Structure 1
Amino acid sequence: MAGVVERRSIDVVPDSERYGTAFSQFTLWLGANLQITAVVTGALAVVFGSGAFWAVIGLLLGNLLGGAVMALHSAQGPRLGLPQMISSRAQFGVRGAAVPLALVIVMYIGFFASGSVLAGQAVGELTHLGDTPGIVLFALVTAVAAAIGYRVIHALGRVAGLVCAVTFVYLGARLLQRAELSELLADRAFSLPLFLLAISLAASWQLAFGPYVADYSRYLPRSTSARATFWWTLSGSALGSQWSMTFGALAAAAAGPAFTGHEVNYIVGLGGAGVMASFLYFVIALGKLTINVLNTYGGFMSMVTGISGFRGQRLLGPRARAAYIAGIMVAGTAVALIGKDSFLTSFKDFLLFLLTAFTPWSAINLVDYYLIAKERYDLPALSDPNGRYGAWRWKALSVYAVGLAAQLPFLATHFYTGPLVDPLGGADISWLVGLAVPALLYWLLARDDDTAPEHTILTAERTPEPRPQTQDTA
Structure 2
Amino acid sequence: MATVARTRGIERRSIDVIPDSERHGHPFSQFTLWCGANLQITAIVDGALAVVFGADPIWAIIGLLIGNLFGGAVMALHSAQGPRLGLPQMISSRAQFGVIGAILPLILVVIMYLGFAATGTVLTGQAINLIIGVDLPWVGIVIFGLLTAITAIVGYRWIHRLGRIASVLGIIGLGWLAIQLFTTFDVAAHVGVKGFDIVSFGLAVALGAGWQLTFGPYVADYSRYLPRSTSTKATFWFTYGGSVIGSMISMTIGALIAAVPSAEGGTAFTKNQVGFVGEIAGGGLLALALYLVIVVGKLTVNTLNAYGGAMTMLTTVSALRKEARISTVARAAYIAAFIAVSVIIAIGASSDFINLFKNFILVLLLVFTPWSAINLIDYYWVSRERVDIPALYDADGRYGAFNWPVLGCYLFGILVQIPFVAQTLYTGPLAELMGGVDVSWIIGLVLTAAVYLPIARAQNRAPAQMIYPAEVNE
Give the TM-score taking structure 1 as reference length: 0.96
Moved over 6 A (4+): none
- Residue-by-residue CA offset, 1:396-421 (whole Å, 9 max, x unaligned): 10100000000001111222221211
Question: Residue 132 of structure 1 is aligned with which of 138, 143, 146?
Answer: 138
Cα offset for 1:249?
Answer: 0.2
Cα offset for 1:448?
Answer: 2.7
Aligned residue in 2 for 1:295: 305
- Residue-by-residue CA offset, 1:249-283 (whole Å, 9 max, x unaligned): 00000244211130101111011122212111111
Q: Which amino acid aligns with 2:256?
A: L
Alignment of 1:180-259 (within 5 A): 180-255=186-261, 256-259=266-269
Aligned residue in 2 for 1:116: 121
Residue 395 of structure 1 contacts residue 446 of structure 1 at CA under 8 Å; is this kept in 2? Answer: no
Residue 361 of structure 1 contacts residue 400 of structure 1 at CA under 8 Å; is this kept in 2? Answer: yes
Aligned residue in 2 for 1:66: 71
Cα offset for 1:200?
Answer: 0.3
Query: Are 1:262 and 2:272 matched, yes or no?
Result: yes
Structure 1 counterpart SS, 2:270:
coil
Aligned residue in 1 for 2:430: 420
Aligned residue in 1 for 2:282: 272
For the residues of structure 1 that align with 2:95 and 2:472, how far apart are their CA atoms?
A: 20
Question: Residue 412 of structure 2 is aligned with which of 402, 408, 423?
Answer: 402
Question: Residue 14 of structure 2 is aligned with which of 2, 9, 17?
Answer: 9
Cα offset for 1:181?
Answer: 4.6
Q: Which amino acid aligns with 2:162?
A: L
Residue 20 of structure 2 contacts residue 472 of structure 2 at CA under 8 Å; is this kept in 1? Answer: no
Cα offset for 1:462?
Answer: 5.8
Question: Residue 21 of structure 1 is aligned with which of 21, 26, 47?
Answer: 26
For the residues of structure 2 that align with 1:66 and 1:288, how far apart are their CA atoms?
A: 21
- Residue-by-residue CA offset, 1:202-251 (whole Å, 9 max, x unaligned): 11000000000000000001111101111110100000001100000000
Aligned residue in 2 for 1:142: 148
For the residues of structure 1 that align with 2:193 and 2:316, how far apart are their CA atoms?
A: 48
Residue 99 of structure 2 contacts residue 400 of structure 2 at CA under 8 Å; is this kept in 1? Answer: yes
Structure 2 counterpart SS, 1:79:
helix
Residue 11 of structure 2 contacts residue 328 of structure 2 at CA under 8 Å; is this kept in 1? Answer: no
Cα offset for 1:129?
Answer: 2.2
Residue 187 of structure 2 contacts residue 260 of structure 2 at CA under 8 Å; is this kept in 1? Answer: no
Q: Which amino acid aligns with 2:75?
A: M
- More moved, 69-78 vs 250-259: 250-259
Which structure 2 residue ranges, 5 or more long, are not aligned? none
Q: Which amino acid aligns with 2:215?
A: F
Aligned residue in 2 for 1:79: 84
Structure 2 counterpart SS, 1:421:
helix
Residue 48 of structure 2 contacts residue 255 of structure 2 at CA under 8 Å; is this kept in 1? Answer: yes
Residue 20 of structure 2 contacts residue 228 of structure 2 at CA under 8 Å; is this kept in 1? Answer: yes
Cα offset for 1:322?
Answer: 1.9
For the residues of structure 1 that align with 2:354 and 2:383, how far apart are their CA atoms?
A: 41
For the residues of structure 1 that align with 2:471 and 2:334, how far apart are their CA atoms?
A: 28
Cα offset for 1:451?
Answer: 1.3
Aligned residue in 2 for 1:304: 314
Aligned residue in 2 for 1:331: 341
Query: Are 1:177 and 2:183 matched, yes or no?
Result: yes
Q: Kindly, what percent of the aligned residue pairs are identical?
A: 54
Query: Are 1:372 and 2:377 matched, yes or no?
Result: no
Q: Which amino acid aligns with 1:51?
A: D
Aligned residue in 2 for 1:433: 443
- Residue-by-residue CA offset, 1:299-346 (whole Å, 9 max, x unaligned): 000000011111012322232122211111111111111214121111
Query: Are 1:388 and 2:398 matched, yes or no?
Result: yes
For the residues of structure 2 that align with 1:120 and 1:292, how far apart are their CA atoms?
A: 12
For the residues of structure 2 that align with 1:383 and 1:304, how far apart are their CA atoms?
A: 12
For the residues of structure 1 that align with 2:63 and 2:194, how far apart are their CA atoms?
A: 13
RMSD (CA atoms): 1.2
- More moved, 1-10 vs 53-62: 1-10
Aligned residue in 2 for 1:88: 93
Residue 259 of structure 2 contacts residue 267 of structure 2 at CA under 8 Å; is this kept in 1? Answer: no
Which structure 1 residue ranges, 5 or more long, are not aligned? 464-474
Q: Which amino acid aligns with 1:31?
A: G
Cα offset for 1:88?
Answer: 0.2
Aligned residue in 2 for 1:471: none
Cα offset for 1:434?
Answer: 0.9
Aligned residue in 2 for 1:442: 452
Residue 72 of structure 2 contacts residue 243 of structure 2 at CA under 8 Å; is this kept in 1? Answer: yes
Residue 92 of structure 1 contacts residue 392 of structure 1 at CA under 8 Å; is this kept in 2? Answer: yes
The alpha-carbon distance between structure 1 residues 188 and 451, as it changes in their structure 2 partners (threshold 3 A), is same
For the residues of structure 2 that align with 1:277 and 1:416, how far apart are their CA atoms?
A: 39
For the residues of structure 1 that align with 2:194 and 2:229, how far apart are their CA atoms?
A: 48
- More moved, 269-278 vs 36-45: 269-278
The alpha-carbon distance between structure 1 residues 407 and 134, as it changes in their structure 2 partners (threshold 3 A), is same
Q: Which amino acid aligns with 1:249?
A: A
For the residues of structure 1 that align with 2:448 and 2:134, how far apart are their CA atoms?
A: 48
For the residues of structure 1 that align with 2:289 and 2:466, how far apart are their CA atoms?
A: 49
For the residues of structure 1 that align with 2:372 and 2:219, how far apart are their CA atoms?
A: 12
Cα offset for 1:188?
Answer: 4.2
Query: Are 1:163 and 2:169 matched, yes or no?
Result: yes
Structure 1 counterpart SS, 2:196:
coil
Q: Which amino acid aligns with 1:91?
A: Q
Aligned residue in 2 for 1:469: none
Aligned residue in 2 for 1:467: none
For the residues of structure 2 that align with 1:184 and 1:105, how far apart are their CA atoms?
A: 40
Aligned residue in 2 for 1:468: none
For the residues of structure 1 that align with 2:472 and 2:196, how far apart are their CA atoms?
A: 59
For the residues of structure 2 that align with 1:326 and 1:146, how far apart are their CA atoms?
A: 9
For the residues of structure 1 that align with 2:414 and 2:131, how far apart are their CA atoms?
A: 43
